[in-house]
Structure 1
Amino acid sequence: MSSTITIVGGGIGGLANAYALATAGHTVRVLERAAEFAEVGAGLQMAPNATRILRQWGLLDAVLERGVVPRRLVFRDAVDGAELTHLDLGADFIERYGAPYVVIHRSDLLDILMQACRRVGVELLPNTRVDDVITSADAAVVVSGAGEFTTDLALAADGLRSTLRGKLSDDQPIASGYVAYRGAFPLSEIDVELDQDALQDVVVYLGPGCHLVQYALRGGDMFNTVAVFKSAAYDRGEEDWGNPDELESAFSGMCPDVRRGLRSLWRTRKWPMYDRSPIPTWVDGRLALTGDAAHPMLQYLAQGACQAIEDAHTLATEAAKTEAAGGLDWDGALRAYQTVRTERTARVQTTARVWGDIWHVDGVARLLRNELFRDRAPNDYKHIDWLYGG
């Protein structure tokens, strides 16, 4: 039984839901307020909990073609540059989790999803602002600049600052006081010499109140860098916090490799880091939250896009289960979706906060963290099985 579904927001979460639901036979439209479907940013890490789903959707080959499968995930101390531990992402890892770890440019993943949506008939409407969703027991009316759309289901995929989330919760985004600077440049434009390890590994440098992440993109033709630091100006309550001068100051005591990494950043834009606290209710009648509108999280587990893809897979799967059991039941599917996803994503959100605290410790706590990391066996998966496993 086919339904009409309207999705508010055309980012990775919105398009993932559109593709999953359209391939299940539903009629889907996506309303995006921007003039085009596009992602601003740089690299994105896709763990096997997401790439397994992309394989099931028939999209993993396209992701592999445009991304990079790194050899290892390496953690180093940002002060002295010493390796603390690593996770081998090769054959044993892939066999254990059923899919590879892939890094890809955000815009490339969005383009793959957008082209896939077009192939299955999803209606994509850019430059369309949504003002409200009026929901009832068996339908929703999406009020937009392009008119009103009556639909069997409305999905709010409108991101961290979702206005539609306000229909279910009065919470607000929470500033972490940390800010990110990013950069993704062709190798020919990188003014530092990169060895093969840098091009084959995802490397994370952990420092007091800061960290740096680097890895290759687009088949090794591009190099991605992210620098994150705690803003002293934020702690002082200043309006202009996280500026480039603070960036330089925050990393001033770090090792030469980290300092050189700062040369590969865009300085004209910053990304203040926010999340929200988990909420237990994502569904109101025929309106449901998804992606960052439901569970915005800090970036330390690299799971934002992965969890949005999990959302899309779960909702489509739960709807299909009801259909197979005797008839499409959106109320039952939405209840199951909310039950499964709120518990899972709450754990990811709260763990990401803790992980960030561990990354950024100083003094005795840094020495203890480093010792614990060094004692970890490279084939010890116990801390990630819950996240990457099936």
Structure 2
Amino acid sequence: MSTRTPVRVVVAGGGIGGLATALAVAAHGHHVTVLERQPEFTELGAGIQLAPNGLHALDALGVGPEVRATAVAMAELRFMDGVTGTHVTSLPLTERYQRRFGSPYVVVHRAELHRRLLDAARRLPRVTLRPAASVAGYRQSAAGAAVHLDSGERIPADMVIGADGIHSRIRRQLVGDGEPRNSGITAYRAIVPMSQVPDRVRRDAVTWWAGPDCHFVHYPISGGAYLNMAASHADGAPTLFAGRPTDGALVRAAMSRLGAVDDLLRLTDEWRAWVLVDRAPVDDWADGRVALLGDAAHPMLHYAAQGACQALEDAVVLGDLLGDGAQPVPEVLRRYVAQRRERTAAVQAVSRDSIRLWHAAGEAATARNRALAAMTPEELHTAVAWMHAARVRGERPSEAVR
């Protein structure tokens, strides 16, 4: 056991990335205070996909078994032509996939994942959870740092981690790159009881239905009790909004080209809508004793289903680099960014480029279907290996995958 003085870490943001950071840092004997601006530690959203890299990160954080207990393991990722209703290809996720990547591919309700991380953080005496603590910014010197709240309170720290999301106040001060980029795509989300879902819908697959300027995805959550549904429409939305209640008729009109899923879209009229946003990668997201993590550092569109996985990887890498605190905090954060920068930038790029895959039309859609249908399971596994591989420190995508 090290005799060094524990590092005082303050984390802005009590979401998945912030709580994972608390677990990773506290495991090495350091004191962590997590500041959440909401009155309670909660998580918005519905379904979330966890590839093996995310599950291995959860294992490293000590909560992998608890998450697997409520997650649903998927047998395949199914790609469908939503206009014709034809099955284009499937990426199998069973024996060969699990042997290669060392873990299944699962889906879970986002709130369930957050709850497992929160429960684990509450069990650790070195972790302090503070709700209703809205972070305004930070200050630092060679000797230390401090987080300033909107209330005027000052919280001293040796290290500050901004895990406060895509609208991060820590990022605004550290990077200063303005507002997120409007993708011009509106996403709609809903969940329905599985008892209402037609029997033809696979309960063991993530299924994508692609169409011109739109696509639709569905998979089970909450142990299979509900079907999570998400639709995206490139409608050129001019202004940003999030969580807006939306009538089912509007969703069906946006997805009207996907005739193959009209019956699923009619399962509910209770939808919520978001305009999707992201940011371009930056070379550096550390400033002395302050650094960013997760969506605050490298926000990405959800099309690669890697946002949470990359935040979990961030947390594990940061905790490992900090270790017993022998290295100066600015050096730890410099190495953390250097280790994570290229991988996360590649996932950001693939997530944005995937729009062309999901939203192709006409000859482009025909060529896409032909190319995907020609790929063997081994080729499909190789295409995602750089993201899904168990190694937390990851790989670069090959030129072929790009």
Please classify the TM superposition score into its range, dividing by the shorter chain length.
over 0.9
Mapped pair 1:307 → 2:320? no
In structure 2, distance between residues paired with 1:198 and 1:278: 36
User: Helix, strand or coil: the match of 1:40?
Assistant: coil
- The one-letter code of the counterpart of 1:335 is R
Q: Tell me how far 1:14 sits from its aligned partner.
A: 0.5
Q: Tell me how far 1:318 sits from its aligned partner.
A: 1.2
- The one-letter code of the counterpart of 2:311 is A
User: Helix, strand or coil: the match of 1:269?
Assistant: strand
- 126-135 vs 365-374, greater mean Cα deviation: 126-135
- The one-letter code of the counterpart of 1:270 is A
Q: Is the 8 A contact 2:191 2:229 kept in 1?
A: yes
The aligned counterpart of 2:372 is 373
Q: Is the 8 A contact 2:279 2:300 kept in 1?
A: yes
In structure 2, distance between residues paired with 1:71 and 1:138: 52
- The one-letter code of the counterpart of 2:304 is L
1:140-196 CA distance string (max 9 Å, x none): 1111137211101011011011121122323220011111111123323x3x4234x
Mapped pair 1:127 → 2:94? no
Out of 274, 282, 296, the position equivalent to 1:293 is 296
Alignment of 1:41-190 (within 5 A): 41-121=45-125, 122-144=127-149, 145=151, 147-171=153-177, 172-188=179-195, 190=196
Out of 22, 27, 44, the position equivalent to 2:26 is 22
- 362-371 vs 217-226, greater mean Cα deviation: 217-226
Q: Is the 8 A contact 2:71 2:108 kept in 1?
A: yes
Structure 2: runs of 5+ lacking an equivalent: 392-402
1:4-26 CA distance string (max 9 Å, x none): 10000001010010111111111
1:292-334 CA distance string (max 9 Å, x none): 00011001000110000010011111112x75xxx23322211
In structure 1, distance between residues paired with 2:142 and 2:386: 35
Out of 275, 279, 303, the position equivalent to 1:276 is 279
The aligned counterpart of 1:386 is 386
The aligned counterpart of 1:337 is 336
Q: Is the 8 A contact 2:231 2:255 kept in 1?
A: no
Percent identity, aligned pairs only? Answer: 38
Q: Tell me how far 1:136 sits from its aligned partner.
A: 2.2
In structure 1, distance between residues paired with 2:15 and 2:267: 26
TM-score with structure 2 setting the length: 0.90
- The one-letter code of the counterpart of 1:198 is R
| Count of residue pairs the alignment pairs up | 379
The aligned counterpart of 2:262 is 259
Distance 1:268-1:300 versus aligned 2 partners, 3 A rule: closer
TM-score with structure 1 setting the length: 0.92
Q: Is the 8 A contact 2:60 2:316 kept in 1?
A: no
Root-mean-square deviation (CA, aligned residues, Å) is 1.9
In structure 2, distance between residues paired with 1:285 and 1:292: 20
In structure 2, distance between residues paired with 1:132 and 1:6: 12
Q: Tell me how far 1:248 sits from its aligned partner.
A: 2.4
Structure 1: runs of 5+ lacking an equivalent: none
- The one-letter code of the counterpart of 2:139 is I
In structure 2, distance between residues paired with 1:207 and 1:160: 28
In structure 1, distance between residues paired with 2:314 and 2:268: 32
The aligned counterpart of 2:394 is none
The aligned counterpart of 2:198 is 193
Distance 1:186-1:385 versus aligned 2 partners, 3 A rule: same
User: Helix, strand or coil: the match of 1:379?
Assistant: helix
Q: Tell me how far 1:56 sits from its aligned partner.
A: 2.5
Q: Is the 8 A contact 1:31 1:126 kept in 2?
A: yes
1:110-164 CA distance string (max 9 Å, x none): 0000001111221111111111211223421111137211101011011011121
